[in-house]
Amino acid sequence: SAALTGFALWLPHGTSAAAASRVVRPGRGRVLVVEDDPSVRGLMVALLQDQYEVREAEDGEAALKELLRDPPD
């Protein structure tokens, strides 16, 4: 049987003046890609890295560790 795969990609629609003032790294937002399939994760990172500072995690546990290590803005 075929396995179903999916992903969610959330990108900002726009930036308000208040949100822009909170950006730690001017000019580049940060994205955390969480995906257990290395090839899919690599593709997502490759697609996003020109526009965003991309971090990656292979599962939820690794994602939580990454968020604790470097919390979002």
Largest CA-CA distance found in the chain, in angstroms, rounded: 50
- The pLDDT-based confidence of 7 (bands split at 50, 70, 90) is low
Q: Which two tokens stand for residue 69?
A: 């290590």
- Any idea what DSSP says for residue 3? P
Please say whether the beta carbons of 63 and 57 come within 8 A. yes
- pLDDT tens, 12-64? 666 555 444 444 455 678 899 999 999 999 999 999 999 999 999 999 999 99
Please say whether the beta carbons of 29 and 10 come within 8 A. no
Helix (H, G, I), strand (E, B) or coil at 45: helix
Q: Would you state the pLDDT for residue 24?
A: 47
